Structures are given as structure tokens and as C-alpha cells.
Amino acid sequence: MIGGAGTVPLRRLVVLRHAKSAWPTGVADHERPLGPRGLRDAPAAGRTLAEADRLPDLALCSTAVRARQTWELAAAQWGPPPPVRLERRLYGADVPELLAAVSEVPDQVLTLLLIGHNPGLAELVLDLAGDSLGDALDDVRTKFPTSAVAILAWHGVSWNELAPGTALLTDLVVPRGKKHA
């Protein structure tokens, strides 16, 4: 067991909605890149996680271009990035599909980063969080914008134990990069 005899480790699921995308004419949704604001905000999300000491042991990322670019720009803020698994099934995934991907994560991973899309990510946070610190749950119910980072904490031996209402939403931030003059 991780963490010593008789202890159940604290695990964190870091949910990151991809940064703001562009809408180029004639480009399929899956292939849409980040827009100018997304190119500023994705590195800010990476810095936010580094400053909060919430760097992942593993990342699961949608194969959509905007999600992959968000991952690359965020992870570039950390030095050597953790391993990443690009998962086609995260594109447009609903809560059961997202939970299925999370349930396959190896037990030695204590902090998992999940990069994907709404409405699935917001619904996942709302489904998993039994409670939150401050008004974070109400804020997610109102809006889970691009580049939003939600951190869910829970105690469990395995990722497949993560279930509705079992986590605490400890943080919700929406990092924004600075506009250049």
C-alpha cells in the first residue's frame, strides 16, 4: 500500500479545461487550435499549478489540437514534464467516459491531471465533489470557463474507487495570461 501500513493515500484529480480556442473557417472541431487568448492562458495555468505545488504524476489529455496545445504550453512551465497519455476518448467525453479513463490510472499516481472539454469536465467536477472549500462548487455550477483548473482531493487506494460525492473540491482558479501591450 502506498504511504505506509494502514494509511490510505491522499489523491488529487486536477481538472483543466483546454484554453480558449480559435474558430478558423473550414477547420474541423477536433483540429481547432488555441486562439491568442488561449496561447496566453495555457502557460498561466501551468504556472498556477507549479506555484500551488500541484504538479501531476501523470496527465491524461484529449487528442483535440486545442487540448494538446494547452498541455504542451502548461507543461513547459514545469521543467521535465510528467508522462502524458493522449486519449481520443476524452474528446467530447461525458462523466462515465471520463471516470472510465481515470479508473485505469496506475495506483502509484497520486496526482492526475485531466485535460479536456466542457460540458463533460464541469459535470465531472460537480458529480465527484461532495463538498468544496469556499464557494468553489457554486462557481463551477455557474461557469467552468476555458483554462479553469479545479482540484479535487480524496483518500483512496486505487483510482477506480473514485465515485460521485467522494471528493472535496479544494481549489478552483481561472488563470489568465497577461496581454502584451
Q: Are 171 and 136 in contact (CB under 8 A)?
A: yes
**Per-residue pLDDT for 4 more than 70?**
no
So where are the chain's domains?
Answer: 10-173
Q: What is the side-by-side order of every strand in the sheet holding 10-17?
A: 84-87, 58-62, 111-116, 10-17, 149-155, 167-173, 129-132
* Residue showing cell 473540491: 169
**Per-residue pLDDT for 16 more than 50?**
yes
* pLDDT for the residue 1: 36
* pLDDT for the residue 35: 97
How is domain 10-173 classified at the CATH fold level?
Rossmann fold (3.40.50)
What DSSP assignment string belongs to 14-37? EEEEPPPBP--TT--GGG--B-HH
pTM score, whole prediction:
0.93
- Region 27-42 average pLDDT: 97
